[in-house]
Chain A
Amino acid sequence: MEDDKLMYVHPGPVRVWHWVNAVGFIILIITGIQIRFAEMVDWFALEEAIQLHNYVGFVVIAAYGLWVSYYFGTMKIKLYFPNPRTFVPNAIKQLKYYGAGIFRGEPNPHQMTPDNKFNALQKNAYVGIMFVFLPAQMITGLFLWRVKRFENYIDLIGGIKIVSSIHVLLFFFFVAFLFVHIYLATLGHTPWAHFKAMFTGYEEHHGHGASEESAF
């Protein structure tokens, strides 16, 4: 254990954003299920579910604002962008690791450092999620919140049903993502290591190359 050391990889604003976003997502998913499937579930009155969904939606948007401000303010946003020259080979290495190496006990080809905390696959996934999927979910949610106010934009997209369909498909995607995300978070050197790090900010670095999957 001599080569174990602590690395500060999750700064305060990122941790605040992460957990606000996580709790927000859970509430949005639960209320979203109630709103879409009112005939099947009876957790809340629809009226309450919609109100709660709207309030929490704005909290998640505000948290995203914090994330954007922090990452662009400090220019750490480059953490998210893959290097075009090394991206493909690194992604293949990472895929091989998840598909085979991890079962043979091989070390994770990606070593987390504060300046390079995401592996190639994470970079790819998170760029898509943070710059396309999440903004699309927030914008469509905003339009659905006040259909009449945003009707010109809604018409531009093709109508309220198109907007709603985008919102719903992304909702299903995020639910699926959540399962995978939480599972990958258990792949640290102990199952709780990454969860703990997302509270404390410090990841333990292990010389043997423990996997580091889930950190944002």
Chain B
Amino acid sequence: MKSKICLAVGVFIALISSFLDPAVAFAIDNDECMECHSDDTLARNESEGMKEDLFLDYNKFKYSVHNVNGITCVDCHADIEELNWDNEVPHPTSLAMVNCDGCHEEEGEAYLNSVHKKAGGKGITIPCYACHGYHFVTHLEADSVFERENKFCLKCHNPDNFHEWLPQKDTHFAFVECAVCHAPESPRYISLRFFDLVSKQFLKAKDLLAALDADYDTFMDKLDQDKDGVISLPELEDMIFLLRQKDIRGTFHGELVMELVPTVHHINRGGANRECEQCHNPQSPFFEEVYITLNKDDGTGQRQKVERRVLESYYVNHFYAIGGTRVRYLDKIGLVLIAGGISVVIGHLLVRVATIPARRKRKEKKDEFSI
């Protein structure tokens, strides 16, 4: 009985204190912001005739990763503490720069010593949103190399102007995310996606799952027969077989992408990996982590670990790092071919040497007859 009274008193105090907390008491709802910022003509005059667009497309914003996670406008624009509707602009017109590091501490720390941050000393400021955008930050896990690069590096950099030393630079750009070489200390993985050879497009994860009579949760149960959490080569073969039974024929495309960890922001001049052997050898750590990526509509991706040996199979025909993901049994065939060639030569030579006396005798006999 005593404990119930204590609980009731506690709840009452919590409720009262929540009304007294100014942050809660004056919380500004996104709808209030959108009263003005949904107007697509809303803009502010800047110097030299420039205009700053203040319109925010809520239809796009609502899918942003921040909104999905319940982050409101004033969580980021934290210097707006109240809205005074008596004023023409209900909040200060000059707002502080959004401090992303407030939440993204580790990312901020990794960025601190990066070439992009250091560019600030040269009169350029590259804040987070220069790369990530303002209000429409979405999940990147499901993005391909092409999509990731277009959203980030390629906004400012034209990699074609550099990398003259790099053999097949356009092939590298197509299959390897920039940060794989430019943030070498960050983890990366091979992302495999199933390409449907009939429709000539990547099979959507939901279609792939439907064909396998599975969903995101049962995908591994269905394929991972030995329950070791990794799809082995034979298990992948079974998957291909199941797809063929459903008349789905295709192959896996691979890409080398970054694990989205804070250190990926630590990109430095001269710090890029230029040693080709790092990647182009079968012991390369670059190919240790291999995943089948099952994309979701919200831009997230579910990844399922795959045995590395899959890269050396003919189920991944459209991703090949010379030397690195080579088909090992071709080397054995090669060894047999070369050893066969050498054996024929040595065998023939030995028989020729061994039969020299017989030929000499035969020749002598012939010479005797001819005399």
Contact = CB atoms under 8 A, between A and B. Distances in A.
Interface in B347-371: 348-349, 351-352, 355, 358-359, 362-363
A39 B323 contact: yes
A172 B330 CA distance: 9
Interface stretch (B101-109, B119-127, B335-343): B335-343
Interface stretch (B209-217, B257-265, B278-286): B278-286
Contacts of B333: 169, 172
Interface string A24-52: 00000000000111110000011100110
Contact of B322 (A36, A105, A146, A176): A36
Interface residues of A, number: 42
A105 B168 contact: no
Contact of A46 (B276, B334, B344): B276
A101 to B, nearest CB: 11
Interface string A53-66: 01000000000000
A105 B352 CA distance: 10
Contacts, number: 116
Interface in B297-350: 314, 316-320, 322-323, 326-327, 330-331, 333-335, 337-338, 340-342, 344-345, 348-349
Nearest to B283: A39
Size band of the B side of the interface? Answer: 35 or more
A175 interface: yes
B351 A51 contact: no
A153 interface: no
Contacts of B282: 39
A7 to B, nearest CB: 25
Contacts of A158: 317
Given A147-B168, A159-B318, A164-B322, A179 B330 contact: no
Consensus secondary structure, chain A interface: helix
Contacts of B345: 179-180, 183
Given A36-B322, A39-B281, A103-B351, A172 B337 contact: yes
B316 A161 contact: yes
A37 B280 CA distance: 9
Contacts of A173: 337
A47 B337 contact: no
B323 A161 contact: no
A148 B282 CA distance: 23
B342 A160 contact: no
A160 B317 contact: yes
Interface of B: 165, 167-168, 170-171, 174, 251, 276-277, 280-283, 314, 316-320, 322-323, 326-327, 330-331, 333-335, 337-338, 340-342, 344-345, 348-349, 351-352, 355, 358-359, 362-363
* 9 cross-chain pairs, A with B, having the tightest CB-CB distances, nearest first: A159-B317, A176-B341, A172-B334, A105-B359, A39-B281, A46-B276, A103-B355, A148-B170, A183-B345
20 contacts: A38-B323, A39-B282, A39-B283, A39-B323, A45-B276, A45-B277, A46-B280, A102-B352, A105-B359, A105-B362, A145-B168, A146-B170, A147-B168, A148-B170, A161-B314, A164-B322, A168-B326, A172-B333, A172-B338, A179-B342
Interface of A: 35-39, 45-47, 50-51, 54, 98, 102-105, 144-149, 155, 158-162, 164-165, 168-169, 171-173, 175-180, 183
